[in-house]
Amino acid sequence: MGHVPTTTITRVRIATALIVCASVALVLAARARAQEGQAIALDRLRPVDTSSPRDTLRNFLDHFDASVAAWRAGDESARRRAASLASASLDFSEDPSRGSYIRRFEKMVMLKEVLDRIELPPYEQIPGKEQVEDKGVLRWTVPGTLIDFVKIEEGPDAGEFLVSREAVADLGRYYELAKDLPYKPTAQAGLYEELRASPGPLIPKRWIDGLPAWTKSLVFSYPVWQWATLLAMFVLAVVLVRWLFRWGRAWDDRTEAKGAGFQFGLPLALLGTIVVAALFRQGLKNAIWLFGAGYDILSFGVWAVVFGCAVTLVIVVTGRVGVALMQPREGDKRVVDPALTRLLFRLLGIVLAAFILIYAAEFLGMSIAPLVAGLGVGGLALALAIRPTLENVIGGFTLFADRPVRVGDFCRYGSDVGMVHEIGLRSTRIRSLERTLVTIPNAEFSQMKLENFAVRDTRLLRTTLQLRYETTMDQLRYLLAELRKLLLGHPMVTEVPARVRFLDFGEYSLNVEIFAYVRCQDQNTYLAIREDVLFRIADIVHQSGTDFAYPTQTVRFGRDAGLDVERGKDAEAAVRAWRESSTLPFPEFAHVERAEVEDGLDYPPEGSPGHLPRD
């Protein structure tokens, strides 16, 4: 086995450690998320009696007092359990999905603060099960407040009496109205302020109690120690994220330089950022135990970062997978066009990103119903606005379906020529002969007359020889026969249709047409073969004793040698010999003679670097 470089091993170890840390952090975040969802699950199970306003109120007060006692005793598990049972008395159905247990716990603290400042009627005067069944009670309002207990008519909570969702939404306002009222003698005074200034379960309360008094003074409703802790967490998160992206870019640069395939740097950096954001949010809830508007703002920001990174991660990964699948491999016989693969993965990334954004909007409490309604009202205007884009997208898929051209093909589009550089979602890019990039919308490009030069199996060699009128017919016959032998004998010229014909009498010449196909595709090879054939044609023309005609007037003097009489006689003698032996090659060669002359010439010709003499 070969020696593995130390730097490679180090990078693999770092990547493995990062992946393991990310996985552990995600598991911890998922576990915390599951604990948050415990309250919702317990709401569904309904382990308490909320069948009447009296039972609902008693359930809330008893279990909330138990949760406060557990909190003061340092029993976080018992606090969560009691708080979950107390939350079953409130209708949180309109809370956004991001509403965590800490937000619900704050709502319950506010409700308890309001109830501790007003006189409640005796339990006997609050409607119980009997009154609900006999009198059909559907709603009961706490005297002197707007807090009402409403019977839920439908859904999983049907038949239960809960603090109405309208009252739950306004508990912050109710607390502000009631916080200056005196407490009842049996109330727990200052509970809300005490909870807001206390740390979460991850920080022992004795640590905060041992801090100097100035660290507990309030600045914008929060103690100084919370601001300091929050700043430290934020700085640490920013440093980690910057290091992740710097490390990811470095990894991608090294991978790209070595051509090592898929680049994991940026995806891992985005995944690590999601983990850092999740840990930051856990610190807000379980370390600082932030309440109020501060928690709402920061939690919203953290989730925005998480979903933004998730969208970017999906787009980056799908795009890079599409590019990786386009890389050619030895012995790889592709059925699907690589450019189409990349386009499909790009579309997949856009679709997945759209689903993530829709889920994020719902998760963050943003209603998408007005957006859908707006699309219905403005559907026509939207359709007209995006019509060109849709036409280009459809045109792109048409190009992939019909395959008139593919990436890398040299083609003629309209009156111009160039090489297809890229077929994208909206447009096609052509590399022109001037080496510029021409961008054409797919809708327009797919409607053009496209001539694909790259799919040619052979190249046409066609020319017309214009011979002098002094040429005799036997000379012409000799010339035609030799030219046909040339085409049949040339290994780079196809046998069918290798055609040489006396075409017509021109104004100043006898016209002979040469029509054949050359076995090549690219332009350079074609020009080389054409050049060789034309050289041989010129030699045969001169060998036959004739010459090319020119559209000029010729003034002859006595010293003009005129045509080569001796060679003309040799050509005529050869034709007479063909007649006498019944081998005159008109209109075609005999099969035996044709087989003798096929591929009989040397190509490249003698004297060329690649010349190989025939045996």
- Give tens-digit pLDDT for 27-66: 444 454 444 444 444 444 446 778 888 888 888 888 888 8
The whole-chain average pLDDT of the chain stands at 78
The answer to whether residue 6 scores a pLDDT higher than 60 is no
Q: Which residues of 385-403 are buried (b: 16+ CB within 10 A; e: fewer)?
A: eeeeeebbbebbbbbbeee
For residue 600, the tally of other CB atoms under 10 A from its CB is: 14
d(CA 387, CA 394): 10
Least confident piece of the model among 37-41, 193-197, 502-506, 538-542: 37-41
Higher pLDDT among residues 10 and 512, named by residue: 512
Residue 508 has a pLDDT of 87
- Give tens-digit pLDDT for 362-397: 777 666 656 555 555 455 555 555 667 777 777 777
Residue 315 has a pLDDT of 85
Average pLDDT over residues 71-77: 80
Q: Order the strands of the 510-518 sheet from edge to edge.
A: 459-467, 510-518, 499-505
Residue 196 has a pLDDT of 76
The answer to whether residue 523 scores a pLDDT higher than 70 is yes
The answer to whether residue 565 scores a pLDDT higher than 70 is yes
d(CA 592, CA 599): 14
Percentage of the chain lying above the pLDDT 90 cut: 9
Specify the DSSP class assigned to residue 5. P
Please name which of 551, 567, 374 lies closest in space to residue 475, comparing C-alpha atoms. 567
The answer to whether 390-454 and 457-597 have equal CATH topology is no
Q: Output the six-digit token pair for 399.
A: 């190009």
3-state SS class at 467: strand
Least confident piece of the model among 514-528, 546-560, 565-579: 546-560
Higher pLDDT among residues 443 and 592, named by residue: 443
Residue 236 has a pLDDT of 92
Band of residue 8 on the pLDDT scale cut at 50, 70, 90: very low
- For 220, phi and psi rounded to 5 degrees? 55, 50
Q: Which residues of 134-170 are buried (b: 16+ CB within 10 A; e: fewer)?
A: eeebeebebeebebbbbbbeeeebeebbbbbbebbee
Residue 535 has a pLDDT of 92
- Give tens-digit pLDDT for 305-352: 988 888 888 888 887 776 666 655 544 444 455 666 666 777 777 888
Higher pLDDT among residues 337 and 149, named by residue: 149
- Are 549 and 540 spatial neighbours (Cβ–Cβ below 8 Å)? no
The answer to whether residue 134 scores a pLDDT higher than 90 is no
Residue 10 has a pLDDT of 47
Residue 383 has a pLDDT of 55
d(CA 496, CA 518): 11
- Are 391 and 126 spatial neighbours (Cβ–Cβ below 8 Å)? no
The answer to whether residue 91 scores a pLDDT higher than 50 is yes
Residue 534 has a pLDDT of 93
d(CA 594, CA 438): 49
Average pLDDT over residues 155-165: 83
Q: Which fold has domain 457-597?
A: Alpha-Beta Plaits (3.30.70)
Residue 517 has a pLDDT of 92
Q: Output the six-digit token pair for 591.
A: 């099969």
Band of residue 615 on the pLDDT scale cut at 50, 70, 90: low
Average pLDDT over residues 63-77: 84
Residue 33 has a pLDDT of 47
CATH number of 390-454: 2.30.30.60
The answer to whether residue 584 scores a pLDDT higher than 90 is no
Residue 94 has a pLDDT of 72
Give me the residue spans of the domains in the chain. 46-196, 390-454, 457-597
Band of residue 13 on the pLDDT scale cut at 50, 70, 90: very low
Average pLDDT over residues 187-204: 79
d(CA 86, CA 81): 9
The answer to whether residue 563 scores a pLDDT higher than 80 is no
d(CA 130, CA 136): 9
Band of residue 204 on the pLDDT scale cut at 50, 70, 90: confident
